[in-house]
Amino acid sequence: MALDKPYNDIPGTTIFDADQSRLGYHLNQFCMSLMKAENRARFKADERAYLDEWPMTEEQKLAVLARDLNRCIAAGGNIYFLAKIGATDSKSFQQMAGSMTGMTEEEYRDMMIKGGRSIEGNRYLGEDGDAQPHRQPQGKAGQKGGN
Amino acid sequence: MAKITASVYSSHVPAIGAAIDLGKTEEAYWKPVFDGFAPTRQWEKENPPDVVFLVFNDHATAFSLEMIPTFAIGTAAEFQPADEGWGPRPVPKVYGHPELAAHIAQSVIQDDFDLTIVNKMDVDHGLTVPMNLMFGSPEAWPCPVIPFAVNVVQYPVPSGRRCFNLGKAIRRAIDSFDKPLNVQIWGTGGMSHQLQGPRAGLINAEWDNAFLDRLINDPEGLAGMSHMEYVREAGSEGIELVMWLIARGAMDDVNGGKAPTVRHRFYHVPASNTAVGHLVLDNT
Ligand SMILES: [Fe+2]
């Protein structure tokens, strides 16, 4: 029997369940390795060579090289693991979270200061909130008509 | 006999730790957050615990995907602040209480909760940030701490009901420890926040405040809340709030005693990506 996934109807959200965890095992374990200072240095010196030491998929490696966290999550990454890449790049959780919305750092920070993203329209897929698929990317990137 | 005198609830946002470490607590952005905990820091000075039983979650720090314990009790004599990738936080070493921890492990496991016993574990911001919020930044922490880590990273996490009943079992264990210790139980994490995907930045203040109301007045009912409600209404990382029910389940009123006194309540948005909630419930 397949896993029951009642959470698949929430917009803009990936739940890190056993399937995602299996998919992302080596990606996430690569991220864990960055908790050691010497590994961070080796990764920074030659990212591709360091990634090639891990049995990750090509898509996972490209997503890491592009620092595209949405792609990393689709490939099985979990934000607490991916945060180790952000730490290596000296990025905060706010910069990392914001990068997944399409907003600029400033736009995302302003949204948070104004009370954060509203829940209205963002509970179920098919509503019209700003996290819904038809409204991506957000912020100035979205207004340009997407590029 | 040992006794649970109070429960304390708090978010454990990593950026709060960074603000402390970088000396930013007086800046306009952070000052309201730290001011919101000032009454509790004073109250902790006047009512110092002998031991804190601290419920938190590990954020891919001590536990990678190699092992994912649902409930893990730290029974070691000491725990180092972890290097989460930015270098270890400059906070004091955390001393445990191996004797009480071993007693709780034995009692709770015999009470049908299958804990993982951990003798070596670095502790991350989930534990050290609440310590700073409640105790400030002393040279050494004022008391020993029993770290209790809950898996809220890989779904499924334990249910609210399971957490609430576990709190009751922890309470029975502490009640049966034959030394006169004043124990506080802390529940940390939350409140509403989502750190991933296009819905990142979600905050639901109305829901958070209703959660605080129910935690005070209707913990039994709140324990029945489904995972899906946490995730949908409070964000994918808002699920951390199930950990608050462990602390709440250890209080007098849900174990045949009287209702707690609310010593302090605080709510603030934002700290980085997160809504900060805080509550102090006193049994005395
Ligand atoms: Fe957390």
Among candidates A82, A69, A65, A67, which has minimal Cα distance to A12? A69
Which regions of A23-146 does DSSP assign to beta strands (E)? none
Distance from CA of B259 to the nearest CA of A (A): 33
pLDDT band per the 50, 70, 90 thresholds, residue B252: very high
Give the active site residues of B: 125, 193
Please give the interface size between A and B, counted as residue pairs whose CB atoms are below 8 Å apart: 161
CA gap B167, B159 in Å, rounded: 12
**Chain B positions in Cβ-Cβ contact with residue A131 (cut-off 8 Å):** 197-199, 202
Task: Please state whether beta strands B3-10 and B274-282 pair in parallel, antiparallel, or not at all (unpaired).
Answer: antiparallel
Among candidates B206, B49, B227, B69, which has minimal Cα distance to B131? B49
**pLDDT, position B262:** 98
B228/A87 CB distance under 8 A: no
Residues 27-86 of A with CB under 8 A from B: 28-29, 31-32, 34-35, 37, 40, 69-70, 73, 78-81, 83-84, 86
Q: Which own/partner contact pairs does B74-78 have at CB distance under 8 Å and 24+ positions apart? A: B74/B101, B74/B118, B74/B121, B74/B123, B74/B146, B74/B147, B74/B148, B74/B149, B75/B101, B75/B102, B75/B105, B75/B117, B75/B118, B75/B119, B75/B146, B76/B118, B76/B119, B76/B120, B76/B121
Residue numbers of chain A with a pLDDT score lower than 50: 146-147
**What are the tens digits of pLDDT across the range B146-183?**
999 999 999 999 999 999 999 999 999 999 999 999 99
- B151, B196, B203: best to mutate for the A interface, most A CBs within 10 A: B196
**What are the tens digits of pLDDT across the range B43-65?**
999 999 999 999 999 999 999 99
**pLDDT, position A146:** 44
Q: Which residue has the tokens 């009642």?
A: A6
**pLDDT, position A144:** 58
Query: For the whole model, what pTM was predicted?
Result: 0.97
- Find the B236 Cα to ligand 1 centroid distance in Å: 11
Query: Are the C-beta atoms of residues B55 and B250 closer than 8 Å to each other?
Result: no
Q: What is the mean pLDDT of residues B235-253?
A: 98
- Find the B12 Cα to ligand 1 centroid distance in Å: 6
Among candidates B232, B243, B57, B244, which has minimal Cα distance to A78? B57
Residues 166-205 of B with CB under 8 A from A: 192, 194-205
Residue A17, chain B, CB below 8 Å: the answer is yes
Residue A88, chain B, CB below 8 Å: the answer is yes
Question: How many residues are given for chain B?
Answer: 284
Instruction: Say whether pLDDT at B87 is over 90.
Output: no
Q: Which residue of B has its CA nearest to A111?
A: B201
Of B14, B196, B202, the CB nearest to A122: B202
A93/B14 CB distance under 8 A: yes
**What are the tens digits of pLDDT across the range B67-85?**
999 999 999 999 999 998 8
The DSSP code sequence of B27-40 is: STTTHHHHHHHHHH
**Chain B positions in Cβ-Cβ contact with residue A108 (cut-off 8 Å):** 200-201
Among candidates B211, B35, A142, which has minimal Cα distance to A133? A142
Q: What is the mean pLDDT of residues B88-108?
A: 98
**Residue B63 region by backbone torsions, left for phi larger than 0, else alpha for psi between -120 and 50, else beta:** beta
B154/A17 CB distance under 8 A: yes
Of B18, B60, B200, the CB nearest to A32: B60
B83/A37 CB distance under 8 A: yes
Instruction: Say whether pLDDT at B92 is over 90.
Output: yes
**pLDDT, position B85:** 82
**pLDDT, position A141:** 73
**Chain A positions in Cβ-Cβ contact with residue B60 (cut-off 8 Å):** 28, 31-32, 78, 80-81, 83-84
